[in-house]
Amino acid sequence: MEPGTEGESDVQSIRQALIVFWLGVAVPLSGVAAVAFAQAAEGKGTMFREDRRGGTGEGAALTALLSDVEGCRGRLTWFLSRHPAFRLGEDGRYHLVPGAAFVFGGDAPDRFAGERHVLQELLRLKAETPDRVVLLAGNRDINKLRLPLELSPAALRRPPHQRPDAYEAWRGERSLPDDAPARLRWILEQTMGSPVAFDLRRAALAADRGVDPATVSGDDVVASYLADASPGGLFHRYLQAAVLMARRGPTLFVHAGLPQAALGKVPGRRRRAPDPDTWMADLESWYRQQLAAWEAGLGRWDGVGPRPGEALIRYVERWGTISYNPFSVVYGRTLDPEGKVDLPPAPVVDWLRRAGIRRVVVGHTPSGQVPVVRRTADGGFEQWVIDTSYGPPGEVPLVTLHGADGAGLAVEARLEARLVAGVASATLAEGVLPVSFRSRLGGPGPLGARCRDGAFLVAPVGDRWLAFRVGPGFKLQYDLRSEEPGKGAADDTDDHR
């Protein structure tokens, strides 16, 4: 997920923001979504197209999707314990069932105290079934490359690499010495969008040691972060196991999005790749080169000038004064005027469709408690946003690709009823509105439509539709609507094909 302020508008995406009616297909499930998932597992599919993931992964007809756990052990455990792609083994750990696959969309650490457990579990799953587990690198994962560089003895003898004047003002307000703990707090809080990460790590260390957090020093926290971010540590091992993009049949996975300026581009190269598969391979090669340059340069950077791996580090940082990087698939996105993630620009959609890609799955931008889908007017292309990191800490939706061709997608989620206008929480078990449905590429139906008030129809609930929008102050707003977009609730001025 993007650190800092969410939802600042992208001018380019605003031009494309008025969308659609009569899209896709959505069939509400009468029972628990796991029944449908299990039935779908009879098919035979093709997994990811990249040699370093361990082969083609034939047989993955059930693909579990999760993103942006951000250190929350409870969310990962909830997902693994309830998703039919996993089983509990005799060793007390969860393992992929035969024929299933798993894609984690990036951003493993930062906002909760369980980040080390999350990283360990993701790496274990990858090691057990490398051909059927894909880990994407998110901005919160890649930015940890900065820590061994900017906390090195040479760097600590100089002003901070970023915004030194602001650092001095921040430090003065808190009466902190200019030492490694202060630098780490500054980096996490003010440049990585992780304001409580330092104290969370302190608490985690205290819990591991069975001591009071007050006895864990700032230097202990620094040493722990450096151990994880240095070669062989958890952060570094995750980056080595991760990729920037992945594809299964008609579905492309990226962490953040596909802004038009990033299309086909590899940093440092003038020419665009001719097609998405070539682009994926070229970008992956560049990513590996950057990781190698970072590792080779550790210990030699003097705190001045470009850092080892500079291009990769900048690939996940803001571009100038805007809140994202329009040249990056890890930190770029397209938004509607409310700040909700919208479809990529029409030229991007056309380029992908010519290569047989009809669906993009992204995380990065929090999008309520139910995954959000947007579809083109002809139903031939869709984008799913599965970052629900601002939902209840102990829960995440269960999202699954299914079917022999991977064209089906199923969702099971639990929405806090207090967020849904007109729904009495007291009438629902645990104050939760259950959401459970299946959809498929290319069929008719209003799922993913934009209504005239700017809301998106994100799920069928009985004979009505759950509408989602972002209110003032980025407040989540849901309501149930009985009318279909074709009956006047939606705008039909979409410029996508």
Predicted pLDDT of residue 453: 87
In the predicted model, what is the mean pLDDT of the chain? 84
Give me the residue spans of the domains in the chain.
11-142+237-487
Predicted pLDDT of residue 242: 98
Predicted pLDDT of residue 118: 97
| Residue 443 banded pLDDT, cuts 50, 70, 90 | low
| Residue 170 banded pLDDT, cuts 50, 70, 90 | very high
Predicted pLDDT of residue 155: 96
Give this prediction's pTM: 0.86
Cβ neighbours, 10 Å, residue 431: 14
HEC profile for the chain? CCCCCCCCCCHHHHHCCCCCCCECEEEECCCCHHHHHHHHCCCCCCCCCCHHHCCCCCCCCEEEEECCCCCCHHHHHHHHHHCCCEEECCCCCEEECCCEEEEECCCCCCCCCCHHHHHHHHHHHHHHCCCCEEEECCHHHHHHHHHHHHCCHHHHCCCCCCCHHHHHHHHHHHCCCCCHHHHHHHHHHHHCCCCCHHHHHHHHHHHHHCCCHHHCCHHHHHHHHHHHHCCCCHHHHHHHHCECEEEECCEEEECCCCCHHHCCCCCCCCCCCCCHHHHHHHHHHHHHHHHHHHHHHCCCCCCCCCCCCHHHHHHCCCCCCCCCCCCCCCCCCCECCCCCECCCCHHHHHHHHHCCCCEEEECCCCCCCCCEEEECCCCCCEEEECCCCCCCCCCCCEEEEECCCCCEEEEEEEEEHHHEECCCHHHCHHHEEEEEEEEECCCCCECCCEECCCCEEEEEECCEEEEEEEEHHHEEEEEEECCCHHHCCECCCCCCC
Predicted pLDDT of residue 431: 83
Does residue 234 have a pLDDT over 50?
yes
As a whole number, mean pLDDT of residues 154-171 equals 95
Regarding the domain delimited by 11-142+237-487, which CATH topology (the fold level of the hierarchy) does it fall under? Purple Acid Phosphatase; chain A, domain 2 (3.60.21)
Determine the Cα–Cα distance for residues 41 and 63; give it in Å rounded to an integer.
Answer: 9
As a whole number, mean pLDDT of residues 111-131 equals 96
As a whole number, mean pLDDT of residues 64-76 equals 95
